[in-house]
């Protein structure tokens, strides 16, 4: 039957499928021979899901289109086309032919043509289908294909839940109809494909211009009429480049193809061929699924692939099935189910992301994959009550207090495990409502324990990677910018789908991760250093630290005055007004206007004006020094004295940061909203900011910090006798290093020599390089290299440690801390400049990570150790803990806390060197440190 009216052609962008599969899955290998097959596996799953999704659909013709080779006619037009693409990963290359074989095994047409991109073939076929009066759906999210939409052609974005992109979708993305997409692309260019376009013009501006002038050609011809001088010149000066860009982005839709539309007719796969291929790949799960579906016996796979165990059969996600809990009877049914099961996934919806300010809006629960509910509590928008802004409660919601009263016993029940994704957030919301959620599990922390370094651990990432499911995005529900609404304004109907799905996803992730923890040997890391931190941090964050607004405000004013004075001086020196805060303008004045030497342009074409460069120039001119002074004040004012005031909570009068447990790959915490881990201390002026951090009346702040913890850990792991002895004897480690290296007796040590040794000591922790040390010490590179050589000569154990660490990383794609925390280093075997980064990170991670483990252990034990004292732990700054305590109990606190910190490694790790903790007391953080 010839393709024509009533027929529907599906064109699948093969490369997009492959890359998505590759990035979505861990690097699986075939068990029998170690052949990488992660991408093939994902590709087959996607094909299978695609085929299933279209059973009974109206698809009549289908093909998967691939790219062939990397050289196309576009490279002949422009040699830089796609020149910035990274090389294909080594473990993906051998999988490329297998994806073609997989396509054929599914009996789907598989096409690729030398010298052309898949997009050109897709364009040609789409136009042919259109000409024959049929329809065409392109399965891809590549915006380059949007020019084809219209007539009978649409795109289907498989990444976004098969969202259909039609004419309107294209207009939304490009601001013009499909016919003008290439005009917009020609102007905007494309950094991914390295299409130059017109410098400084993005999609928004391009669409504006094209809509005004009708077409690119018209625009270029009448470019002289444009009012904005910069834009006018850009278009006139870059005409050729823009026209080239248009040719690059225009798809060839008139290729001569060695096959016809009729050849693409949908055919059922041959079960034997398909199963044989899948069995050969050792895809146990998908073999079983397809055998069951076709009603045939599954071929025997000798060696079970490990994927199968991790991916038990799960019902598909179906937002329509989630329950809207409206009353106590319905809720009680859920509570009964939870007790029958022993565990429940919980998620809260609130009015804000800041837990200290957010109000609880609703709760979702899930007890079994696919079976979840949402309990809306204070959604607005019931009876129209426009006088009061529609603030009436929506119908179908149970009483707030009644709901909490019913849930509280369950949430606090020792026998019911509460599972969450980032449970610290939900626990804090509940804690403010006097509910102590325990015991808990946290899928985000499980992922972190298993996969630190591989990817982030947000719900969207985890769901996509491990469940192959893209969660309902929150953006469309809340909107953005000025018109954004809070979750209590989301219609309950929509809220149920979104909120219940989160609990559903969390439960499914937990079911998958729980058995993996053992297999990946991170159970103890998770159970001793991740999960127990949740209540500890929640408590610290809720305590907050008192910050004195008046002190900050006074400092702000003083800074503003000094800045204004500096600005006047700078304008004088520059011979005119300019924006001191603009690095670009500072660079121009220094290097163009004043003609100073040493201007280096970065990749954006701007002069670099970092502090190190300006410091070098300060000897030649007054200007750069003044800029540095101004910058320091500007930083202190905007980031600290001004911004910090906005973070003072109205109710508590204190600042409540939020610690991210999974924020840093090494095991360190990260502090946000505000970041209290980078409050100034290095300069006297900045240090004053710490005077605004104060204790309540009758109390004092106590700061305890580990002395040289990373160097002590280095001395231990690299087993350097001289360093270990120096720490045991309590000597000045930097002076000792200097003495050993430069053969200077300790009593003749100069501060300068000690400073250099200190830089080397730190450099070693960071994965030292001659270049880095030279820059840090401002000495010639050869001299720096000489220092390093001498250091390694004197402490050969350090070099051995570094080599061993890198060898371990190369073999296992990860490094470990002394406590067993695993930190993945996926780039360690990469070629190119990335390799250097990866090596240094691999050297640093076990040291920084072990120190992070030590303080985590201390924090977890601290609660009990100081429970008998009128004291609270408030802050953690990597190697420092800050407490607030009644004045007369300060000494007791110091004794207790110091003991916990110094012995935090015991009994798991027995350090050869003592861990020493220094203490300080004061009315402010400045005094205490």
Partner DNA sequence: ACGCTCACG
Partner DNA sequence: GACGTACGTGAGCGTA
For the chain, give the number of residues.
929
Backbone angles phi, psi at 765, to 5 degrees: -65, -30
| Smaller CB separation from DNA, 228 or 329 | 228
| Smaller CB separation from DNA, 508 or 754 | 754
| Smaller CB separation from DNA, 345 or 841 | 841
Q: Which two tokens stand for residue 623?
A: 């200007």
Cα–Cα distances (Å) from 534 to 342, 508, 544, 661, 896, in that order, read 21, 21, 16, 8, 22
State in angstroms the smallest separation of the CB of 861 from DNA: 20
Q: Go through 660-684 and write b for each residue having 16 or more CB atoms within 10 A of its CB, e for each that does not.
A: bbbebbbbbbebebbebbebbeeee
State in angstroms the smallest separation of the CB of 38 from DNA: 24
State in angstroms the smallest separation of the CB of 912 from DNA: 22
Instruction: Report H helices in 729-780.
Output: 733-742, 751-765, 770-777
Q: CA 447, CA 793: separation in Å to the nearest integer?
A: 41
Residue 523 Ramachandran class (φ > 0 left, ψ -120 to 50 alpha, else beta): alpha
| Smaller CB separation from DNA, 115 or 663 | 663
Q: What one-character DSSP code corresponds to residue 442?
A: E
State in angstroms the smallest separation of the CB of 709 from DNA: 8
State in angstroms the smallest separation of the CB of 385 from DNA: 35
| Smaller CB separation from DNA, 397 or 844 | 844
State in angstroms the smallest separation of the CB of 278 from DNA: 38
Other Cβ atoms closer than 10 A to 32? 12
Q: Which two tokens stand for residue 671?
A: 């502090």
Backbone angles phi, psi at 351, to 5 degrees: -85, -5
| Smaller CB separation from DNA, 178 or 667 | 667
Q: What one-character DSSP code corresponds to residue 670?
A: E
Q: Which two tokens stand for residue 133?
A: 């009066």
Among the listed residues 866, 483, 468, the one whose alpha carbon sits nearest the alpha carbon of residue 702: 866
* Long-range interactions of 823-831: CB distance < 8 A, separation 24+: 823/452, 823/453, 823/665, 823/666, 823/667, 823/849, 824/451, 824/452, 824/453, 824/454, 824/665, 825/453, 826/453, 826/454, 829/90, 831/87
| Smaller CB separation from DNA, 284 or 690 | 690
State in angstroms the smallest separation of the CB of 690 from DNA: 9
| Smaller CB separation from DNA, 392 or 565 | 565
Radius of gyration over every alpha carbon of the chain, rounded to an integer in angstroms: 32
Among the listed residues 700, 390, 398, 436, the one whose alpha carbon sits nearest the alpha carbon of residue 542: 436
| Smaller CB separation from DNA, 40 or 617 | 617
Q: Which two tokens stand for residue 734?
A: 């930097």
State in angstroms the smallest separation of the CB of 764 from DNA: 7
State in angstroms the smallest separation of the CB of 760 from DNA: 6
Residue 135 Ramachandran class (φ > 0 left, ψ -120 to 50 alpha, else beta): beta
Backbone angles phi, psi at 40, to 5 degrees: -65, -40
State in angstroms the smallest separation of the CB of 592 from DNA: 14
Cα–Cα distances (Å) from 685 to 559, 560, 616, 629, 636, in that order, read 10, 14, 22, 11, 9
Q: Cα angle at 254 between 252 and 260, to 5 degrees?
A: 120
State in angstroms the smallest separation of the CB of 238 from DNA: 13
State in angstroms the smallest separation of the CB of 540 from DNA: 16
State in angstroms the smallest separation of the CB of 725 from DNA: 24
| Smaller CB separation from DNA, 193 or 282 | 193
SS3 letters across 686-719: HHHHHHHEECCCCEEEEEEEECCHHHHHHHHHCC
| Smaller CB separation from DNA, 191 or 750 | 191
| Smaller CB separation from DNA, 437 or 854 | 854
| Smaller CB separation from DNA, 57 or 199 | 199
Do 283 and 291 contact (CB within 8 A), yes or no? Answer: no
Q: CA 665, CA 895: separation in Å to the nearest integer?
A: 32
| Smaller CB separation from DNA, 211 or 579 | 579
Q: CA 8, CA 2: separation in Å to the nearest integer?
A: 12
Instruction: Report H helices in 93-222.
Output: 96-105, 118-131, 167-174, 181-188, 203-213, 216-221
State in angstroms the smallest separation of the CB of 429 from DNA: 20
| Smaller CB separation from DNA, 314 or 608 | 608
Strands 440-442, 360-368: parallel, antiparallel or unpaired by DSSP?
unpaired
State in angstroms the smallest separation of the CB of 926 from DNA: 12
Q: CA 577, CA 165: separation in Å to the nearest integer?
A: 49
State in angstroms the smallest separation of the CB of 46 from DNA: 26
| Smaller CB separation from DNA, 71 or 601 | 601
């Amino acid at each position: 039957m010839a393709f024509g009216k009533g027929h529907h052609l599906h064109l699948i962008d093969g490369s997009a499928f492959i890359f998505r599969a590759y990035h979505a899955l861990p690097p699986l290998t075939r068990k029998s021979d170690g052949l990488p097959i992660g991408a093939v596996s994902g590709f087959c799953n996607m094909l299978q899901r695609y085929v299933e999704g279209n059973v009974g659909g109206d698809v009549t013709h289908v093909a998967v289109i691939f790219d062939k080779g990397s050289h196309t006619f576009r490279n002949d037009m422009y040699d830089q086309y796609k020149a910035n693409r990274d090389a294909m990963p080594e473990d993906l290359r051998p999988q490329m032919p297998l994806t073609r074989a997989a396509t054929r095994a599914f009996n789907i047409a598989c096409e690729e043509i030398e010298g052309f991109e898949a997009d050109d073939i897709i364009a040609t076929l789409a136009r042919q289908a259109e000409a024959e009066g049929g329809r065409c759906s392109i399965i891809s999210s590549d915006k380059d294909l949007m020019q084809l939409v219209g007539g009978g052609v649409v795109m289907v974005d498989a990444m976004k839940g098969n969202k259909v992109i039609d004419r309107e979708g294209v207009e939304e993305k490009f601001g013009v109809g499909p016919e003008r997409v290439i005009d917009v692309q020609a102007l905007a260019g494309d950094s991914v494909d390295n299409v130059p376009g017109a410098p400084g013009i993005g999609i928004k501006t391009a669409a504006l211009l094209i809509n005004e002038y009708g077409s690119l050609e018209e625009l270029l011809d009448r470019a002289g009429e444009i009012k904005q001088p910069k834009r006018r010149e850009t278009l006139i000066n870059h005409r050729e480049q823009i026209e080239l860009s248009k040719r690059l982005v225009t798809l060839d839709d008139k290729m001569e193809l060695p096959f016809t539309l009729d050849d693409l007719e949908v055919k059922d796969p041959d079960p034997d061929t398909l199963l044989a291929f899948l069995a050969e790949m050792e895809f146990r799960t998908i073999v079983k699924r397809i055998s069951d579906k076709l009603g045939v016996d599954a071929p025997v796979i000798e060696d079970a692939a490990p994927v199968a165990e991790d991916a038990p059969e799960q019902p598909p996600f179906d937002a329509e099935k989630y329950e809207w809990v409206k009353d106590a009877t319905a809720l009680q049914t859920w509570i009964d189910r939870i007790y029958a099961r022993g565990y429940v996934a919980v998620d809260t919806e609130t009015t804000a992301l800041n837990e200290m300010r957010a109000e609880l809006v609703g709760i979702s629960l899930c007890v079994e994959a696919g079976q979840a509910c949402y309990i809306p509590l204070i959604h607005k928008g019931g009876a129209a009550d426009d006088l009061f802004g529609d603030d009436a409660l929506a119908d179908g919601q149970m009483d707030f207090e009644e709901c909490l009263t019913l849930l509280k016993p369950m949430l606090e029940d020792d026998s019911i495990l509460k599972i969450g994704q980032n449970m610290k957030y939900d626990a804090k919301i509940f804690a403010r409502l006097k509910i102590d959620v325990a015991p808990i599990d946290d899928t985000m922390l499980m992922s972190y324990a298993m996969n630190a370094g591989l990817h982030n651990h947000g719900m969207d990432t985890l769901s996509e990677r491990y469940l192959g499911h893209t969660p309902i995005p929150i953006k469309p529900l809340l909107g953005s910018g000025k018109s954004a609404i809070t979750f209590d304004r989301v219609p309950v109907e929509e809220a149920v789908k979104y909120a219940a799905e989160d609990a559903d996803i969390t439960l499914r992730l937990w079911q998958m991760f729980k058995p993996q923890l053992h297999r990946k040997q991170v159970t103890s890391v998770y159970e001793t250093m991740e999960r127990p931190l949740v209540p500890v941090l929640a408590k610290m964050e809720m305590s907050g630290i008192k910050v004195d607004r008046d002190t900050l405000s006074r400092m702000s004013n003083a800074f503003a005055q000094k800045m204004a004075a500096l600005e006047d001086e700078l304008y004088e020196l520059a011979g005119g007004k300019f924006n001191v805060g603009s690095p670009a303008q500072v660079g121009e004045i220094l290097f163009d206007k004043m003609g100073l030497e040493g201007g280096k342009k970065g990749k954006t074409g701007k002069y670099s004006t970092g502090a190190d460069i300006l410091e070098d120039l300060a000897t030649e001119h007054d200007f750069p020094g003044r800029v540095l002074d101004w910058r320091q004040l500007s930083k202190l004012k905007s980031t600290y004295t001004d911004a910090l005031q906005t973070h003072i909570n109205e109710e508590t009068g204190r600042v409540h940061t939020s610690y991210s447990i999974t924020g840093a790959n090494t095991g360190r915490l990260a502090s946000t909203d505000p970041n209290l881990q980078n409050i100034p201390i290095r300069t006297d002026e900045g240090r004053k900011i710490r005077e605004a951090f104060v204790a309540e009346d009758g109390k004092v702040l106590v700061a305890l910090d580990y002395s040289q913890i990373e160097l002590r850990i280095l001395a231990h792991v690299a087993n350097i006798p001289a360093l270990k002895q120096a720490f045991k004897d309590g000597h000045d480690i930097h002076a000792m290093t200097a003495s050993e290296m430069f053969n200077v007796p300790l009593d003749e040590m100069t501060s300068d020599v000690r400073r250099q040794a200190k830089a080397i000591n730190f450099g070693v922790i960071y994965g030292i390089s001659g270049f880095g040390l030279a820059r840090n010490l401002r000495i010639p590179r050869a001299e720096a290299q000489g220092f390093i050589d001498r250091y390694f000569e004197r402490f050969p154990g350090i070099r051995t440690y570094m080599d061993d660490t890198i060898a371990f990383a190369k073999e296992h794609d990860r490094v470990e801390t002394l406590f067993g925390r695993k930190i993945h280093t996926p780039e360690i075997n990469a070629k190119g400049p990335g390799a250097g980064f990866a090596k240094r990170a691999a050297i640093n991670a076990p040291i920084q990570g072990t120190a992070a483990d030590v303080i985590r252990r201390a924090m977890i034990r601290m609660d009990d150790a100081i429970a008998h004292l009128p004291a609270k732990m408030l802050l953690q700054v990597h190697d420092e803990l800050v407490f607030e305590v009644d004045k007369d109990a300060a000494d007791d606190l110091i004794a207790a806390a110091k003991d916990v910190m110094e012995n935090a490694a015991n009994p798991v790790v027995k350090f050869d060197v003592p861990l020493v903790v220094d203490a300080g007391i004061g009315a402010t953080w400045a005094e205490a440190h």
